[in-house]
A and B are shown apart, each in its own frame.
Chain A
Amino acid sequence: MASQTTSLRAYALSRLVLAVPMILILLSFVFLLMRVAPGDPVAAALGGKVSQEVLERKRAAMGLDEPIYVQFADYISDVFTLDFGMTITDNRPVLEVILNNGAATLELVFFAMVIATTLGILLGLITGRLRDTPIDVTGRLFGIFVYATPVFFLGFLGQLIFGAGLNWLPASGRASPMVQYTLERTTNLLVLDAIIAGNWTALWDVVRHLIMPATTLGLLITGVLLRMVRVNLLQTLQGDYVEAARARGVSEPRVVYKHAFRNALVPVVTMIGLQFALMMSGAILTETTFNWPGLGNQLVRYLNNRDYTGVQGIITFFAVVVVLISVVIDFVNAWIDPRVRY
């Protein structure tokens, strides 16, 4: 339908436009958060290691001697020109850090999401369909367990069993040193790079490294998804249009899949979007647990070293990603549910 595509495009456009103020608000928040931290960031990071004169120069270079509103304006314009400055402690461009380590995080979060949605939706549908059977009860207990268990504990457990105990999977890192050095990088997403290079040994190695961290992180929201899908399915199975479809003699499998399942999954999309923020914070824990060279890991390092620009850059990036994800989710929602776009 022509009219529909138009309305969908208009909707997407309006969401994108709305994302700008959303990002601005978040950025102001990040900016304020960084300022309320007491003390002088440059001194905090480098204090005692370099001369007073160097400190002054550094401070001036970062614009920290300007009035606060100038700093704010600089910060915003820097973000929109993707100029995040240099880190204080290791003197690297923040953008480079984001691009390098961000790829590792992206790979981790992506596969964790795949695991979470597949497992969460599948188990949710099965437990909902087999309501109150032993399978349902087991599935729900599993959901509660993975939801209630802290990420690092689950991670340690995995490392202990599948790493140290059974020796099936590597317990840390993104790849073994050999692959680390020989694999040609194009995207810095190692799975993709291995495929591009046609290097199947490397692919296997990378995937083996991914399994545990991605599963650990994925399980974090699998429980939430499972519960939500199950509850939604129970509701749609009782729904008026489901009964109406039955009354027209539509076959039971079709009623269940086409009417109940599909409709049960609509709110889940929004849910996945909301869980993304949780996933980001979960990624930080997972990365430290598995020594995964991602942004979260880097963030923790900069935090410990009081590297102000490093922390600000990474948090800014996280904030923008969360907003963009929410825009994408809105768009997907409008695409599957015609009632959303009006």
Chain B
Amino acid sequence: MTTANRNASGNGDGEPILSVRDLRVWYGTAKGAAQAVDRVSLDIAPGEAVGLVGESGCGKSTLGRALMGLTPQSAAHDGKIIYRGQDVLAMTRRQRHALRGPEIGLIFQEPMTRLNPLMRIDDHFDETVRAHEPGLSRAEIKRRSLETLGHVGIPPTRFHQYPHEFSGGMRQRIMIALALVLKPKLLIADEPTTSLDVLVEAQILRLLKDLQTEFGTALLMITHNLGIVAEACDRMAVMYAGRVAEDGEVGSVFANPGHPYTRELLRSTISLSTKQLSHIPGSPPNLVTPPDGCRFHPRCPDAMQVCAQKVPVATHPRPGQRVYCWRHGPDDRIPDGGEQPLQQEFDHVDEA
């Protein structure tokens, strides 16, 4: 890919395993098209762990699924997703099957309904491994599956049971094992630890870390928990209303959040240390008719005139950190008087 592409971040060392360019995904709804992902550009380097955070409904899961070309029938997409030089969205069906699983693995957010209720756990593993390595013997498949299940704490005695015989947390771990058994080169983990207790959560996070060091697996970790990001990720991206607001090294974003939304996000987490990022004043916009200009401007304490008119462009306040906010310029793109503060009625600042 072109190294001169200044729009995308990237930590500079070598070719990214995945690079997303101007990706858009919109859902057809009764009220119109909901732009769940809007012109997202993002790079993930091999072996790198990237945290993706943002309020509920901002498009994280949609983005995660789109990365392997999985968008529902009711959705349309546009843009480029380049995985090791190949455009995922332009792949043939066969290529996509080969991609999903051993190349890009996905752990879904909601574990309860992701296993086929009529199939035993062993059938799920059998089918999954066989889809990619048809020649493998039954015994070998079983050995691999049990090994992976062991890593997530599911005992071999339960290998032949049906999904309904497991708790939510166990199903989540089975789903994780189903993704890991193929040793993907890039793992998209969509809130993989939501229904797990802290001990198991720590175990899973350690497992993902091991995977990275041992096999060089790259990780896109979607989460609400900034603690996990701080602990497990090298870089992070903050999404707001379908767009990337900011991304960069975890340390530098935490120390110097460039985007007012990131700042508020960090503050709300630190003050409350909850898992839910719910108390930034106001609520995320609806995605059918999002606000003009910067989508955060109705809630932004720093909003200026220009913010309501023009979509922010990428700025790089520090090396490796990318911020979409007019506060960081570029000054030559801001019209005269655009820096005047935006008069806003903050009556929606209800702390309820």
- A residues adjacent to B (C-beta < 8 A): 1, 238-241, 243-252, 254, 258-259, 262-263, 266, 336-339
Contacts of B339 in A (CB 8 A): none
Task: Tell me the B96-149 residues at the A interface (CB within 8 Å).
Answer: 96-102, 105-106, 108, 110, 113-119, 127-128, 131-132
Is there contact, CB below 8 Å, between B68 and A254? no
- Say yes or no: A248 contacts B182, CB within 8 Å: yes
Measured between beta carbons, the chain A residues less than 8 angstroms from B178 are: 248
Contact A241 B131 (CB under 8 A): no
B179 adjacent to A248 (CB under 8 Å): yes
> Do A244 and B101 have beta carbons less than 8 Å apart?
no
Besides the known contacts A248-B178, A252-B97, 8 further A-B residue pairs in the complex with CB atoms under 8 A apart: A241-B117, A244-B114, A244-B175, A246-B70, A246-B100, A248-B100, A262-B118, A338-B117
- Cβ-neighbour of B116 out of A246, A247, A263 (below 8 A): A263
Question: Which residues of chain A come closer than 8 Å to B182, judged between CB atoms?
Answer: 248-249
- Name the CB-closest residue of B to A258: B127
Q: Which of A248, A259, A262 has the most CB of B within 10 A?
A: A248
Give B61-99 interface residues, CB cut-off 8 Å to A.
65, 68, 70, 72-73, 93, 96-99
Q: Are B118 and A338 in contact (CB under 8 A)?
A: yes
Of A243, A259, A263, A339, which one neighbours B164 at CB under 8 angstroms?
A: A339
**B106 contact set on A, CB distance < 8 A:** 247
Query: Is the pair A247, B70 in contact by a Cβ cutoff of 8 Å?
Result: yes
Residue contact A249 to B115, C-beta cutoff 8 Å: no
B275 interface residue per 8 A CB criterion: no
A248–B117 contact, CB under 8 A? no
Contacts between the two chains (Cβ within 8 Å), count: 82
Asked if B254 lies at the interface with its beta carbon under 8 angstroms from chain A, I say no
Bound together, the chains give a CA A339 to CA B162 distance in angstroms of: 8
B245 to chain A, nearest CB (A): 27
- The 18 listed contacts between A and B (C-beta, < 8 Å) are A1-B160, A240-B113, A240-B114, A244-B108, A244-B115, A245-B116, A247-B101, A247-B105, A248-B128, A248-B131, A248-B179, A250-B131, A258-B119, A259-B116, A263-B116, A338-B164, A339-B162, A339-B164
- 8 smallest CB-CB distances across A and B, nearest first, come from A249-B101, A249-B100, A240-B113, A244-B114, A338-B162, A241-B116, A247-B106, A248-B128
Tell me which of A1, A239, A243, A338 contacts B70 (CB under 8 A).
Answer: A243
Asked whether, in the complex, the Cβ of B97 is within 8 Å of the Cβ of A249, the reply is yes
Please, how many angstroms separate the alpha-carbon atoms of A239 and B115 in the complex? 10
Residues in B neighbouring A336, C-beta threshold 8 A: 118
Whether B127 pairs with A245 at a CB distance below 8 angstroms is yes
A240 to B117, CA, bound (A): 11
Question: Is B127 within 8 A of A250, CB to CB?
Answer: yes
Q: Which residue of A lies closest to B100 (CB)?
A: A249
Using A240-B110, A254-B127, A254-B131 as known contacts, say yes or no to A247 and B117 having CB atoms under 8 A apart.
no
In the complex formed, the residue of A with least CB distance to B113 is: A240
Residues of B within 8 A of A1 (CB): 160
The answer to whether B115 touches A252 (Cβ under 8 A) is: no
Min Cβ gap A103→B in Å is 36
Query: What residues of chain B lie closer than 8 Å to A252, measured between beta carbons?
Result: 93, 97
Identity of the chain B residue whose Cβ is nearest the Cβ of A1 in the assembled complex: B160
Interface centre among A1, A238, A250, A262 (most CB of B within 10 A): A250
User: A247 near B118 (CB under 8 angstroms)?
Assistant: no
CB pair A263 B99 closer than 8 Å: no
| Chain B residues whose CB sits within 8 angstroms of the CB of A250 once the complex forms | 97, 127-128, 131
CB contact under 8 A between A247 and B164, given known A241-B116, A336-B118: no
Contacts of B97 in A (CB 8 A): 249-252
| Complexed CA–CA distance, A251 and B65 (Å) | 17
For the complex formed, measure the closest distance between the CB of B271 and the CB atoms of chain A, giving whole angstroms: 35
Do residues B118 and A337 form an inter-chain contact, with CB atoms below 8 A? yes
Closest Cβ of chain A: how far from B120's Cβ, in Å? 8
Given known A241-B116, A254-B131, A338-B118, contact A248–B101 (CB-CB < 8 A): yes
C-alpha gap A112/B110 in the complex (Å): 43
